[in-house]
Chain A
Amino acid sequence: MPSEAPIVSCRGLKKRYRTGAVETVALNGVDLDIAPGDFATLAGPSGSGKTTLLNLIGGLDTPSEGEVVVDGVRLGELGKNALTDLRLRKIGFVFQAYNLIPVLSAVENVEFILQLQGVAPAERRARATAALKEVGLEGMEDRRPGFLSGGQQQRVAVARALVSRPSIVLADEPTANLDSKTAGELIDLMARLNAEAGASFLISTHDARVIARSRRHIELTDGRVTSDSAAAREPA
């Protein structure tokens, strides 16, 4: 494993939800580091806490206990706006349901992140177009999501996640809505971008093909990390 400081570091992470008198423990003390350049998959049965863990790492939710550090920044110390800015600059998201902005074209969806970052119009258009070319959508820049297939939409989502060169890309079941051929192409794409761009990936998945392509695999059961291939490879 690289000896650099981790991009993501979780310590003693717990998350409890309360519904009336019933308390549900979604995460129960997770310690996890994601290193720069990691291409890691996160698996586990439904309700094991995968999405909750991604939400906490992505700053979309706050832990009941414990701490998340992203690229040296303690998320617990940030206000709502600072968290939003951190997501904008350091984290890329890929969702199961693609979640493109329906009124924007493919290139505008990718540009959206750069526009929020204040990148000049000409530069952002050039970078967004290049990102779409990178994911194999050259010539489809002006199509709106409704005129793209599921696989094409997910490619736009990957381009959007990577265009701002984030520290880590969090992908929640990115292949779950895709047929096997398209899912395979998407996995190849993400693996290639990980290798070429060097961005870390943490992918929540049930898909064995995704797990097979990952360099690191983490199992989550009942809110705990029950196995981590990285730990297994570490010298005793």
Chain B
Amino acid sequence: MGGLSLLAPMAWRNLWRNPRRTWITLAVVAVGLYSILVFAALLDAWARSSRDAALDVLIGSGQVHAPRYLDDQTIAQRMAAPGARLRAVLDGPSVEGWADRVRTPAVIQSEYKTLPAELLGVRPARERAISVVPRDVSAGRYLAGDADGGIVLGAHLAKRLKTRLGKRVIVMAQDATGALAQRSFRVVGLYSASQEDEDRFAFTGIEPAQAMLGIGTDVSEISFKLADDAGAPATVAALKAAGPGLDVRPWTALAPLTAAMNSFMEAFVYIWLWIMFVLMAIGIVNTQLMAVFERVREFGLLQALGMRPRLVLAEVLLESALLIGLGVLAGAAAAVATVLAFSGGVDLHFLARGAEFFGAGHVLYPRLAPAQFAAVSALVWALGVLVALWPAGKAAGSSPAEVMSHAQ
């Protein structure tokens, strides 16, 4: 029997017997799905923004250190410059960029103030591939090369030190022997980042830093950025094999708070999905039950005329599938339009401090994730049809004798 050719026109026309109810259900499904998809896109943008803010200054996708460096982040826990085996992995296709650094606690003294900070000796060309600091220089310039003896300070630190471009500052730190080393640097640039990072990190060329600290060509850390985060476990394993005895960790271990926030936001999307779905399900079941109860006689009639209960169930389910499907299409289309409209950025400057508190940037960039949109839409549709089984089952259970008895 051409079941669909029999059921589809009936189901479609039945939907419009009570247009008001149909439009209300459509709106419930569309608005519910719209809020899920747009909320998911914003949360994803927020999660990416906060992750990028945390990782793109220094951490990258992961780091390599001397074994005890993370417990004692001083120059005493340094390691040799990366050898051939380590470089072979770092220069491999899974790694987008990497940079070795010298990094030590220091104090920076201007004419007016002395403040704590971390001195980083960096290779500017490599840093450009993995860090946003070279890009975010707001005044002056970034470092020109490994031997550049200038210093780039965070804009807020410079303000607190009451120093400025062209002025000199004194940096003091313990050297390889434990003695106090100091060196004068000219301020060549100021960078913008979160206030915490601006206060914390000061950058100079790797060679002046190594010379000041007397560590030869040793380094404190190697930071690497992966082309695809999904490849992190394999790359970490390869680096561990290439650098036995070194401490290789992915960013999730280096920034556990950021990782936890990231997981929480992913989980929150699903919590929101379930909250909205429960509300939608109540709406769908309520309206479909009303539609079924109003038509009990009709379902009895269909069975009296020779329509099997299974086909009655299929007819009511098809009505729900069409109704929810239309709502899903409308909701998804509106969500795609909204996300595309805001893909250029949602400016959160009006709550800048709040955004920074959560580790996010000032501008969120929601993006269209077609697979996620399709999966969530399909899930909402399938779950909606599933809950409609209840009213459909009621319809299929209608007694054909009802029709005769009503006619008495």
A residues with a Cβ closer than 8 A to B are 46, 51, 54-55, 58, 60-61, 80-81, 84-85, 87-89, 93, 95-97, 99, 101-104, 108, 112-113, 115-118, 121, 160, 172-173
Contact A84 B307, beta carbon cutoff 8 Å:
yes
Q: How far is the CB of A76 from chain B (nearest CB, A)?
A: 16
B residues with a Cβ closer than 8 A to A are 1-2, 5-6, 9-10, 13-14, 17, 297-298, 301-311, 399-401, 403-408
Give A112 to B311 CA distance when docked, in angstroms: 13
Contact A101 B10, beta carbon cutoff 8 Å:
yes
Give A104 to B300 CA distance when docked, in angstroms: 16
Contact A96 B408, beta carbon cutoff 8 Å:
yes
Contact B17 A87, beta carbon cutoff 8 Å:
no
Contact B10 A103, beta carbon cutoff 8 Å:
yes
Residues of chain B with a CB closer than 8 A to A96's CB: 407-408
Contact A95 B298, beta carbon cutoff 8 Å:
no
Contact B308 A84, beta carbon cutoff 8 Å:
yes
Give A99 to B102 CA distance when docked, in angstroms: 88
Contact B407 A172, beta carbon cutoff 8 Å:
yes
Give A155 to B309 CA distance when docked, in angstroms: 27
Give A99 to B407 CA distance when docked, in angstroms: 9
Residues of chain A with a CB closer than 8 A to B406's CB: 97
Given A84-B303, A88-B305, check contact A95 B407 (CB 8 Å): yes
Residue of A nearest to B10 (CB): A103
Give A85 to B14 CA distance when docked, in angstroms: 24
Q: How far is the CB of B73 from chain A (nearest CB, A)?
A: 75
Contact A101 B301, beta carbon cutoff 8 Å:
yes
Contact B305 A113, beta carbon cutoff 8 Å:
yes
Contact A116 B404, beta carbon cutoff 8 Å:
no
Residue of B nearest to A115 (CB): B6
Q: How far is the CB of A88 from chain B (nearest CB, A)?
A: 3
Give A160 to B13 CA distance when docked, in angstroms: 20
Give A109 to B385 CA distance when docked, in angstroms: 28
Given A89-B306, A102-B17, A116-B307, check contact A55 B6 (CB 8 Å): no
Residue pairs across A and B with Cβ atoms less than 8 A apart, 17 shown, are A51-B407, A51-B408, A80-B309, A84-B309, A88-B307, A93-B305, A95-B403, A97-B406, A99-B403, A101-B298, A103-B13, A104-B10, A116-B1, A117-B1, A118-B1, A121-B2, A173-B407
Give A172 to B400 CA distance when docked, in angstroms: 14
Contact B404 A112, beta carbon cutoff 8 Å:
no
Residues of chain A with a CB closer than 8 A to B301's CB: 95, 99, 101
Contact A87 B14, beta carbon cutoff 8 Å:
no
Given A97-B406, A99-B301, A115-B6, check contact A55 B401 (CB 8 Å): yes
- Among B17, B303, B407, residue most surrounded by chain A Cβ atoms (within 10 Å): B407
Residue of A nearest to B400 (CB): A60
Given A101-B10, A101-B298, A103-B17, check contact A116 B305 (CB 8 Å): yes
Give A172 to B405 CA distance when docked, in angstroms: 10
Residues of chain A with a CB closer than 8 A to B1's CB: 115-118
Give A99 to B1 CA distance when docked, in angstroms: 24
Contact B407 A84, beta carbon cutoff 8 Å:
no
Give A54 to B298 CA distance when docked, in angstroms: 19
Residues of chain B with a CB closer than 8 A to A95's CB: 301, 403-404, 407
Give A160 to B308 CA distance when docked, in angstroms: 18
Contact A97 B304, beta carbon cutoff 8 Å:
no
Residues of chain A with a CB closer than 8 A to B10's CB: 101, 103-104
Residues of chain A with a CB closer than 8 A to B405's CB: 51, 55
Given A60-B400, A61-B401, A99-B301, check contact A113 B407 (CB 8 Å): no
Give A74 to B149 CA distance when docked, in angstroms: 104
Give A101 to B407 CA distance when docked, in angstroms: 15
Residues of chain A with a CB closer than 8 A to B13's CB: 103-104
Residues of chain B with a CB closer than 8 A to A93's CB: 304-305
User: Considering the complex of A and B, which 7 residue pairs feature the smallest CB-CB distances, nearest first?
Assistant: A88-B306, A103-B13, A96-B407, A60-B401, A118-B1, A61-B401, A60-B400
